Amino acid sequence: MQNVQQPKKRKLSDEIIAEDEDYQRDPEHPRNLIPEICRLLYSQEAMTGSGGAISMRRNDKIYVAPSGVQKERLQPEDMFVINDDGDTLKLPLNGKICRMSQCTPLFLTIYRLRGSECVIHSHSKRAVLATIISSGNEFRISDLQMIKGIYKRTENRNYRFGEEVVIPIIENTPTDPELQENLVKAMENYPDTCCVLIRRHGLYIWGTTWQQAKLMYECYEYLFDIAIQLKQLGMN
Amino acid sequence: MQNVQQPKKRKLSDEIIAEDEDYQRDPEHPRNLIPEICRLLYSQEAMTGSGGAISMRRNDKIYVAPSGVQKERLQPEDMFVINDDGDTLKLPLNGKICRMSQCTPLFLTIYRLRGSECVIHSHSKRAVLATIISSGNEFRISDLQMIKGIYKRTENRNYRFGEEVVIPIIENTPTDPELQENLVKAMENYPDTCCVLIRRHGLYIWGTTWQQAKLMYECYEYLFDIAIQLKQLGMN
Amino acid sequence: MQNVQQPKKRKLSDEIIAEDEDYQRDPEHPRNLIPEICRLLYSQEAMTGSGGAISMRRNDKIYVAPSGVQKERLQPEDMFVINDDGDTLKLPLNGKICRMSQCTPLFLTIYRLRGSECVIHSHSKRAVLATIISSGNEFRISDLQMIKGIYKRTENRNYRFGEEVVIPIIENTPTDPELQENLVKAMENYPDTCCVLIRRHGLYIWGTTWQQAKLMYECYEYLFDIAIQLKQLGMN
Amino acid sequence: MQNVQQPKKRKLSDEIIAEDEDYQRDPEHPRNLIPEICRLLYSQEAMTGSGGAISMRRNDKIYVAPSGVQKERLQPEDMFVINDDGDTLKLPLNGKICRMSQCTPLFLTIYRLRGSECVIHSHSKRAVLATIISSGNEFRISDLQMIKGIYKRTENRNYRFGEEVVIPIIENTPTDPELQENLVKAMENYPDTCCVLIRRHGLYIWGTTWQQAKLMYECYEYLFDIAIQLKQLGMN
Ligand SMILES: [Zn+2]
Ligand SMILES: [Zn+2]
Ligand SMILES: [Zn+2]
Ligand SMILES: [Zn+2]
């Protein structure tokens, strides 16, 4: 979590400044939503110890949380703003010295491959346990009402009760950027999925809107939790 | 969760508008209570991922939460108001485009069969696990003080410590409206029950007042939790 | 939870009224502390479903929470005030029709036998599970730092790390007042204890001050939780 | 928890008074941070029953929470201020009669040996269970992303994914000051560690800054929790 993601260059136009001032009037601006959802995930112990990050897109700007900080204390002014190429458009407004989330290359990849507007990366303990109780490279679950909350991309609809949700698990790497290659492969091999699990590390979940990403995050967490509890009960 | 429940017709009288304005002065108005209890259940992870819904009756108006939305963000203005026939009396006051909860036909059935004033539908993980650890079509529990919080309808009193609470479990169906037939049968076959479990899906709980429905919801959840923990401990 | 505890008589003097008005200026007045601690225990799911109650003494007045209500919604004005004989000194100030906690005779017994100033009765799931995993009529635990938070009455000091805490378990009865005889016996046979467990029901905990009662409640809960988790892990 | 830590002497200079008044303007002053983090740990049931304490250093002043009190109710004015020798510089500002945390000698030892600015002592149930499931005198864990949040002191960097975190476990003693000798030995024998576990008691965690101490506390807790859950699942 200590690597430095250097901003490549810096562009500050009047347009950017004006657009950005919106966030004080708009509670659903990424600058407000990212800290709010981080606090929520922190309270679930899925974003403690500075682990995890959230990114949201708004038009051609991508907002990314800083790295290595207490996620429950994030402020709207702490966000980095970048473009699709990863160029820094705005540094944190408060002049704090910090680094962009190390996950940024993965966020950009997901935006590019799926046209999402929100990506959540967390070190959720349920996700980690789900990768350990799954012997192979997939977490599979079915026959639970809550899978109806998961979007099945290739059919442009949500899963049905009788269907099986299959989530690819990729192996962890020494640093987050090295995950990229296997993340791309997993997304190509599992065109339906909105989630990739990383063994003994956590997950990436994305959605067309921030609402969809957050709701699916909750559904996936629910499914992992049921799977873990059934395993504890010796059932499935 | 994506089905559309179309309003059949729309009646807006002065009387309705006037009555409805009460909610800003009355914290126990259904428009205020439904969001409040949804937030509570969300915090218990029993209403995450947009799953579940609550309905309350007040005189001849029935209030129903919208479908597919983040239940912890519901506002008083987001409710649908319908009558006993399911006719829409009022759409959400804020002009938001959303759908009435898909559970609405089941809410109406419960109101009709039991004369309740509040129905809670949740995807509580404890309820789901209770349906999986119960081999047959019933969840049975006894010898716990908290069963004294459950109403025994045919005797118009609460259960006694020595008695057994029996909750019917019906099988899940592809969509919520299809649950109707089996829900009705379960309510007929178990005239005492104030709860029906749906296998791998969740539960419906109702009460004569919203207070009774909420208190019984808490008692049932308590009983499921104890049953699950005893199973994990290899005891009963 | 539905029995009626009728007030025997009613005394309202100027002195009582004056003293009682204090509570609006004193956050540690029983009228404020009882609702506050009830909300805390509710949030731990130890006071849901209207189960449990708290009583505090202040000089010659005993404050008791009402019965059968949502404990997290208690207001300072909802308390009954009684004397050591159980005579009602004041009904709830708000004119609400409700009943005094059914546990009141047990509260009075504990006040009489131990000279306490606060008694907590909860249906804590950990307490219930502790009574089920304990085969006999005692819950025993030792070798945990947190037992140093428990008061050992006959020696007028707290337990030491190497000592064993022994908590008597009495069998549950159809109604709370019937518990009285066995509660008294347990308190006589276990003069050190500040807690009595009731099989498949919950516990009573008391302290010389409200702070001591609350702190010991937390210590006992901690000990039960560790015992249950060790049992789940197959250890002790 | 009842031992008395007597202040040796008392120095009150204008300088101290002035510096101390800062805390009302600075939310990150130790007088504000210690109560805030205590409330957080209390809400996780890691600081209930008056157990545990936090200390922070600011320049040449060391702030220590009082002993035997409800940690979630601490106020900024409740802190003791001492120097490196343990001399009391300031008593609680509110004139309350209370005692400095019994852990104070251990806090001072850690400050001296490691040059830390914050030490957290908690009776975390996860820490206690981690000491019970570990047969020897070490808790070992590896292959989890969250170990990257732990500082490896001798190499002045954080742990890498492939490395193993080893935490020494010392045996508990009748009183906290008696832990000192074994704490020092453990810190000498494990120069990398920022955490010492105490069997059936809890842990001490320290950091160069309060942020580092808090973030590492969260990482260690995460690792203990995963280890315990894997043990419950019969895996590792
Ligand atoms: Zn990560
Ligand atoms: Zn449903
Ligand atoms: Zn009771
Ligand atoms: Zn300690």
Query: CA dist B117 to B62, D19, D38, D122, Å?
Result: 9, 60, 43, 47
Q: Taking CB atoms and an 8 Å limit, are C229 and D125 in contact across chains? A: yes
Q: Is the pLDDT of residue A134 over 80?
A: yes
**Cα(B83) to centroid(ligand 4), Å:** 60
The terminus-to-terminus CA distance of chain D in angstroms comes to 36
* Structure-block tokens of residue D193: 């560690």
For B109, list phi and psi in degrees, rounded to 5. Answer: -60, -45
Angle at C176 between CA C174 and CA C182, to 5 degrees: 90
Q: Amino acid letter at B96?
A: K
pLDDT in tens, A70-80: 999 999 999 99
Using DSSP's 3-state secondary structure scheme, residue D37 falls into: helix
Q: Taking CB atoms and an 8 Å limit, are B125 and A222 in contact across chains? A: yes
All structural domains of chain B, each given as residue ranges with its CATH number in brackets, are: 1-102 (3.40.225.10), 104-236 (3.40.225.10)
| CB of A205 closer than 8 Å to CB of A234 | no
Among left, alpha and beta (phi > 0; psi -120 to 50; other), residue C182 is alpha
The answer to the question of whether D123 is labelled as a binding residue is: yes
**Distance, CA of B217 to CA of B146 (rounded, Å):** 11
**Distance, CA of C66 to CA of B211 (rounded, Å):** 15
Angle at D43 between CA D41 and CA D49, to 5 degrees: 75
Q: Is the pLDDT of residue A4 over 50?
A: no
ipTM, interface predicted TM-score of the complex = 0.92
For position B16, what pLDDT does the model report?
56
Helix (H) or strand (E) holding A187: helix A180-189
| CB of B41 closer than 8 Å to CB of B213 | no
For position B98, what pLDDT does the model report?
83
Residue in B158, B127, D3, A222 with CA at minimum distance from that of residue C148: D3
**Distance, CA of D63 to CA of D100 (rounded, Å):** 10
**Distance, CA of B60 to CA of B92 (rounded, Å):** 18
For position A11, what pLDDT does the model report?
47
* CA atoms lying within 13 Å on the CB side of residue D45: 19
Q: Amino acid letter at B41?
A: L
For position B3, what pLDDT does the model report?
33
- pLDDT confidence bin for A1, thresholds 50/70/90: very low
Report chain B's C-alpha Rg in angstroms: 18
Residue in C203, C199, C178 with CA at minimum distance from that of residue C51: C203
Q: Taking CB atoms and an 8 Å limit, are D48 and C221 in contact across chains? A: yes
> What's chain B's average pLDDT?
91
- pLDDT confidence bin for D5, thresholds 50/70/90: very low
Residues 6 or more apart whose Cβ sits within 8 Å of residue A178:
none
- pLDDT confidence bin for C13, thresholds 50/70/90: low
Q: Is the pLDDT of residue C150 over 70?
A: yes
Q: In chain B, what residues touch A216 (CB-CB under 8 Å)?
A: 49
**Distance, CA of C171 to CA of C182 (rounded, Å):** 8
Residues of D at the C interface, defined by Cβ within 8 angstroms: 1-2, 45, 48-51, 69-70, 123, 125, 128-129, 132-133, 172-174, 198, 200-202, 228, 231-232
- pLDDT confidence bin for A93, thresholds 50/70/90: confident
Average pLDDT over residues D45-70: 95
Using DSSP's 3-state secondary structure scheme, residue C225 falls into: helix
Average pLDDT over residues B103-124: 97
For D140, list phi and psi in degrees, rounded to 5. Answer: -120, 140
Sign of CA dihedral D218, D221, D227, D232: negative
Binding-site annotation: residue ranges of C:
103, 121, 123, 201
Average pLDDT over residues D71-75: 95
For residue A69, the 8-state DSSP code is S
Which of C96, C121, C129 to mutate to test binding with chain B, by most B CBs within 10 Å of its CB?
C129
Q: Taking CB atoms and an 8 Å limit, are B215 and C174 in contact across chains? A: no
Buried b (16+ CB within 10 A) or exposed e, A211-224: bbbbbbbbbbbbbb
Q: Taking CB atoms and an 8 Å limit, are C218 and D49 in contact across chains? A: yes
For position C111, what pLDDT does the model report?
97
For position D95, what pLDDT does the model report?
79
Helix (H) or strand (E) holding B220: helix B210-232
- pLDDT confidence bin for A16, thresholds 50/70/90: low
Of C149, C211, C226, the CB nearest to D125: C226
| CB of A129 closer than 8 Å to CB of D229 | yes
Residue in C134, C231, C224 with CA at minimum distance from that of residue B231: C231
Q: Please return the burial class of A85, using the count of CB atoms within 10 Å of its CB with bins 0-12, 13-18 and 19+.
A: exposed
Q: Taking CB atoms and an 8 Å limit, are C1 and B158 in contact across chains? A: yes
Please identify which residue in the block is written with the tokens 């995050």.
A217
Cβ–Cβ pairs < 8 A, chains C and D: 67
For position C31, what pLDDT does the model report?
96
**Range list of β-strands (E), chain D:** 53-58, 61-64, 80-82, 88-90, 118-122, 138-142, 151-152, 157-158, 164-170, 195-198, 202-207
pLDDT in tens, D117-156: 999 999 999 999 999 999 899 999 999 999 999 999 999 9
Report chain D's C-alpha Rg in angstroms: 18
| CB of D120 closer than 8 Å to CB of D202 | no
